[in-house]
Structure 1
Amino acid sequence: MTTQQKPVVLITGATAGFGLATAKKFAANGYPLIITGRREERLKALSDELSPLVAVYYAVLDVRSSDDVTEFTKNLPERFQQVAILVNNAGLALGAEPADQAKLSDWHTMIDTNVTGLVNVTHSLLPTLKAQKSSTIINLASIAGNWPYPGSHVYGASKAFVAQFSRNLRSDFAGTGVRVTSLEPGMAESEFSLVRFNGDQEKYNQIYNGANAIQPEDIADIIFWITEQPAHLNINSLEVMPTSQAWDNFKIVKQ
């Protein structure tokens, strides 16, 4: 299959972590790319790096703005209009304190990005995705949406939305060529993790040193594998943890 024959891939949040690694994975395998994020200098650097391999279009995009997303989709260059693979990766976690110590602004930011942003992009691209003979939506959820833990509060709730939204999309598009996957990583080490601790490297090191956590390249490999499955197969959901992590027993706090 030539580069021109391969479907167009759109990745949100492509400037770091999972999104960055996923862009590199698809480019290495000849897929034309649309990459978005909020940091133009990073997008341009990534575009310059990948352009010798594949056609790349980048755009600064705040997924939280439905107007911006609509304009972005409407103005895609002709070469990139037939998006067939959507990787909804843009998202974040802020804070790990108990709920009563959390900032309300952090809660709003997580909802606006992880829920509203994902909905904005998906809704805008559904007509295009449905028009393709076969298409794939991969939504980045989290084990935090499946299993509660202290300090997860709104982050976990937002990822539970992502997982259920993915299942509901599958119900709507059963019998069509649209595939939808909820990808649910466990402990992963990336810039995303440092953001959660407000750049506190010491706190980050306490958690991740020696944990042999999931790396962005691991998730990129899984995302690529999902899209490469035969068109008649759908990976409904996929939960993945590092071998150093497992479910904890319910604890009892004596008062």
Structure 2
Amino acid sequence: MKGTAFITGATSGIGEACAILLASNGYNLVLCGRNQPKLNQLKNKLSQHVDVHTLCFDIGHTDQLKEITKKLPEAFQRIDVLINNAGGAHGLDELDHSSISDIDQMIDVNVKGLLYITRMVIPCLMRSNGGHVVNISSVAGKQPYGKGVAYCASKAAVEAISESLRQELVPRGIKVTNIAPGAVNTNFSTTRFKGDTERAARVYQGFSPLVAEDIAETVLFCLNRPSRVQISDMTILASAQSTATTIHRADL
């Protein structure tokens, strides 16, 4: 058994792909998300192979986070891997036309939620013989673009958190990896466009985007490096993507 991985945003997209892949590689799991039926479904599927515990809460609601780690059973009190995956984009508008609630949601989940969860899980990581924090950022945190001010800012914050956290945790024997995906075909765009599936589908037309499993495999690669190796930062783009906003769409 490889140890225990604590995954936020585990009920869909990259988080779900990480859960499935890590379970197949012998990791016990703490799966976090807002959808209890989906958490139950994943637990039933993956607990055939590994031990799984679920925590249902909204990472954007700080009042729900205060006692999270205290709810972990004894067998899950030692965490070997924290994957901060929960996050998302809401809206694609110039700042003066952006919804205040969208801005709040992105800051509360992408930044504050990540900080709070990490703060509470660090003591569990300290019980491991060499823990590992993996933050799922975005190419938008490195290459900000118009109509994405709040989202880009939130992901730039994740980049800064990863750098600062590494300086704090490396002396404690804990690695920190920042992974910045480009265009990944998950429910990301459907969420950004408020459930408009047709508009979301157009984001991925004319090229082959990344899929969630590509990022999960990258996470596993980083976790499997020898103890002497720490992957500090990785940017992963689709073959047709050259920058955050530049994609070669051959069929259009």
TM-score computed with the length of structure 2 as normaliser: 0.94
Q: How does 1:81-100 map to 2 (within 5 A)?
A: 81-100=77-96
Instruction: Please name the residue that 1:70 is paired with.
Output: 66
Give 2:24's aligned residue. 28
Question: Which string of whole-angstrom CA distances, capped at 9 and with x for unpartnered residues, describes residues 155-204 of structure 1?
Answer: 01000000111100111123331000111001111012211111112211
Aligned to 1:123: 119
Determine the C-alpha separation between the residues in 2 that align with 1:65 and 1:248.
29
Summarize the alignment of residues 165-244 of structure 1 with structure 2, pairs less than 5 Å apart. Answer: 165-244=161-240
**Amino acid in structure 2 at the alignment position of 1:42:** K
Report the RMSD for the aligned CA atoms in angstroms.
1.5
Q: 1:51 aligns with which of 47, 69, 76?
A: 47
Report the residue type matching 1:140 in the other structure.
Answer: I
Structure 1 unmatched runs, 5+: 251-255
Q: Is 1:86–1:137's contact at 8 Å kept on the other side of the alignment?
A: yes
> SS at 1:175's partner residue?
helix
Q: What amino acid is aligned across from residue 29 of structure 2 in structure 1? A: L
TM-score calculated relative to the size of structure 1: 0.93
Structure 1 stretches of 4+ moved >4 Å: none
- Quick one: which amino acid aligns to residue 89 of structure 1? N
Match for residue 105 of structure 2 among 106, 109, 122 = 109
The one of 146, 153, 159 aligned to 2:142: 146
In structure 2, give the amino acid aligned to 1:79.
A
Number of residues of Structure 1 aligned to a counterpart in Structure 2: 246
Q: 2:249 maps to what in 1?
A: none
Per the alignment, in what secondary structure is the counterpart of residue 171 of structure 2?
A: coil
The residue that corresponds to 2:34 in the other structure is 38
Query: In 2, Cα distance between the equivalents of 1:132 and 1:232?
Result: 16
For the 8 Å contact 1:65–1:120, the answer to whether it is kept is no
Quickly say closer, same or farther: Cα 1:131–1:248, change in 2 above 3 A. Answer: closer
Do 2:9 and 2:32's aligned partners in 1 also have CA atoms closer than 8 Å?
yes
In structure 2, the gaps of 5 or more residues are: 247-252
Looking at structure 2, the residues matched to 167 and 105 of structure 1 have their Cα atoms a distance apart, in angstroms, of: 28
SS in 2 for 1:10: strand
Deviations 1:91-136 (A, max 9, x none): 0100112212110110000000000100110000112212322010
Cα contact 1:132–1:177 (8 A) shared by 2: no
Write the distance in 1 (CA, Å) between the matches of 2:215 and 2:146. 25
